[in-house]
Amino acid sequence: MEYSENLLGNVLKPSFEQKFDGFGVKLPVTTIKINSDGFRDKEYSIEKPNDTFRIVVLGDSITFGWGVNNDEIYTEILEEKLNSLNNGINYEVLNFGVPGYNTENEVEMFKVKGTKYNPDMIIIGFNQGDEMNLIKIREEIEKNKAKNPYLNNKSDEDIFRNKLLQKQLIEVHEKAYKKIIESAVNQSTSSKLKTINEYLYELKKIKIDTKVIIVTFDAGEDIEIIKNAANENNFYFIDMSEFLSNYKLGELTLHKIDGHPSPFQHKLVGNNLFNYLTKNNLIPTNIITPSENH
Contact 233, 34 (CB under 8 A): no
- Asked if 102 and 157 sit in the same domain, the reply is no
Asked whether residue 292 is domain-assigned, the answer is: no
**Higher pLDDT among residues 89 and 10, named by residue:** 89
3-state SS, the chain, equals CCCCHHHHCCCCCCCEEEEECCCCCCCCCEEEEECCCCCCCCCCCCCCCCCEEEEEEECCHHHHCCCCCHHHCHHHHHHHHHHCCCCCCEEEEEECCCCCCCHHHHHHHHHHHHHHHCCCEEEEEEECCCCCCHHHHHHHHHHHHHHCCCCCCCCHHHHHCCHHHHHHHHHHHHHHHHHHHHHHHCCCHHHHHHHHHHHHHHHHHHCCCCEEEEEEEECHHHHHHHHHHHHHCCCEEEEHHHHHCCCCHHHHECCCCCCCECHHHHHHHHHHHHHHHHHCCCCCCCCCCHHHHC
- Asked if 59 and 19 sit in the same domain, the reply is yes
Domain end point (choices 117, 152, 186): 186
Contact 19, 31 (CB under 8 A): yes
Asked whether residue 289 is domain-assigned, the answer is: no
- Asked if 159 and 216 sit in the same domain, the reply is no
| Of 51-65, 137-151, 257-271, minimum mean pLDDT range | 137-151
Whether the per-residue pLDDT at 7 is higher than 70: the answer is no
pTM for this one? Answer: 0.82
Asked whether residue 205 is domain-assigned, the answer is: yes
- Asked if 214 and 270 sit in the same domain, the reply is yes
- Asked if 109 and 147 sit in the same domain, the reply is no
- Asked if 182 and 198 sit in the same domain, the reply is no
- Asked if 124 and 229 sit in the same domain, the reply is yes
Asked whether residue 45 is domain-assigned, the answer is: yes
Which CATH number covers residue 279? 3.40.50.1110
Nearest Cα to Cα of residue 129 among 219, 213, 243? 219
**Higher pLDDT among residues 127 and 269, named by residue:** 269
Question: In the predicted model, what is the mean pLDDT of residues 9-38?
Answer: 89
Asked whether residue 288 is domain-assigned, the answer is: no
- Asked if 57 and 143 sit in the same domain, the reply is no
Contact 134, 104 (CB under 8 A): yes
Asked whether residue 157 is domain-assigned, the answer is: yes
Question: In the predicted model, what is the mean pLDDT of residues 266-294?
Answer: 82
Instruction: Please state, in angstroms and rounded to a whole number, the distance separating the CA atoms of residues 184 and 34.
Output: 32
Whether the per-residue pLDDT at 221 is higher than 80: the answer is no
Whether the per-residue pLDDT at 46 is higher than 60: the answer is yes
- Asked if 152 and 202 sit in the same domain, the reply is no
Question: In the predicted model, what is the mean pLDDT of residues 185-192?
Answer: 63
The confidence band for 189, taking pLDDT boundaries of 50, 70 and 90, is low
Overall number of domains in the chain: 2
**Higher pLDDT among residues 174 and 273, named by residue:** 273
Nearest Cα to Cα of residue 64 among 89, 100, 28, 36? 100
Write out the residue range of the structural domain in which residue 157 sits: 133-186
Domain end point (choices 154, 170, 186): 186
pLDDT of residue 65: 95
| Of 165-179, 247-261, 265-279, minimum mean pLDDT range | 165-179
**Higher pLDDT among residues 187 and 104, named by residue:** 104
Asked whether residue 199 is domain-assigned, the answer is: yes
- Interval 222-235: pLDDT, tens: 788 888 889 989 99
pLDDT of residue 237: 95
CA angle 76, 258, 256 (to 5 degrees): 115
The confidence band for 133, taking pLDDT boundaries of 50, 70 and 90, is low
The confidence band for 168, taking pLDDT boundaries of 50, 70 and 90, is confident
Domain end point (choices 186, 203, 229): 186
Q: Which of 121-135, 211-225, 250-264 has the highest mean pLDDT?
A: 250-264
Asked whether residue 293 is domain-assigned, the answer is: no
- Asked if 45 and 125 sit in the same domain, the reply is yes
Contact 112, 204 (CB under 8 A): no
- Asked if 177 and 257 sit in the same domain, the reply is no
Whether the per-residue pLDDT at 130 is higher than 60: the answer is yes
- Asked if 237 and 277 sit in the same domain, the reply is yes
- Interval 52-108: pLDDT, tens: 999 999 999 899 999 999 999 999 999 999 999 999 999 999 999 998 788 888 999
Question: In the predicted model, what is the mean pLDDT of residues 262-288?
Answer: 92
